Amino acid sequence: MNTYPSTNVLDLLRLLGNLASGFIRNPGGFDLEKVLGGWIGDVIKRYGSKNVILNFLLKKVLLVSGRDLSDHILQDPPDSQGYIEGNLKKDGMSFLAPNALTISHDQQWQRLRPYNEGVLGTGCQHQYQQAFLDQS
């Protein structure tokens, strides 16, 4: 497995500066998604890798935006002997959807997957596709 570049304290200071300046310039319309998205884009460009370890000092998170690594991770079902959901993702999603497919693995994932595929109409046109398109 490759070792990916990791952010450092200077990158965190850039992020904090971007957050502060974005909020000071427009407190009522502060756009956290835009600031974080811009920072992540800069990190990817600066390190020359689509996969970067975001080192937040107390927590490290692997940002996976490269197609090859993403395909590698997703090629097999989530399994405790391979790749499973991370604590950050599980903790964040458990509040609203504690039994979601996206935070399950092993037997629970095997049980939930067919149901989700059926509901979503995987592999064919969804029966309500036109209704969704009409709403957008």
Per-residue pLDDT of the chain (136 residues; tens, 9 = 90+): 568 999 999 999 999 999 999 999 998 999 999 999 999 999 999 999 999 999 999 999 999 999 999 999 888 888 988 888 888 888 888 988 988 988 899 999 999 999 998 888 888 888 888 898 998 7
Q: Could you tell me if residue 129 is inside a domain? A: no
Which of helix, strand or coil describes residue 81? coil
Q: What is the pLDDT of residue 40?
A: 97
Which two tokens mark 79? Answer: 């399994």
Verify that 83 and 54 share a domain, yes or no. Answer: no
Residue type, 15: L
Verify that 29 and 83 share a domain, yes or no. Answer: no
The domain total for the chain is 2
Q: DSSP for 9-56?
A: HHHHHHHHHHHHHHHHH-GGG--HHHHHHHHHHHHHHHHT-SEEEEE-
Whether pTM > 0.75 for this model: the answer is no
Q: Could you tell me if residue 30 is inside a domain? A: yes
Report whether 29 contacts 43 (CB < 8 A): no
Q: Could you tell me if residue 87 is inside a domain? A: yes
Q: Could you tell me if residue 130 is inside a domain? A: no
Verify that 57 and 83 share a domain, yes or no. Answer: no
Report whether 8 contacts 53 (CB < 8 A): no
Report whether 114 contacts 77 (CB < 8 A): no
Verify that 53 and 92 share a domain, yes or no. Answer: no
Q: What is the pLDDT of residue 36?
A: 96
| Full domain range(s) for residue 101 | 76-118
Q: What is the pLDDT of residue 2?
A: 67
Q: What is the pLDDT of residue 1?
A: 52
Q: Could you tell me if residue 53 is inside a domain? A: yes
Which of helix, strand or coil describes residue 95? coil
Verify that 23 and 44 share a domain, yes or no. Answer: yes
In 41-66, which positions are buried (b, 16+ CB within 10 angstroms) versus exposed (e)? eebbeebebebbebbeeeeeeebbeb
Q: What is the pLDDT of residue 44?
A: 98
Report whether 6 contacts 53 (CB < 8 A): yes
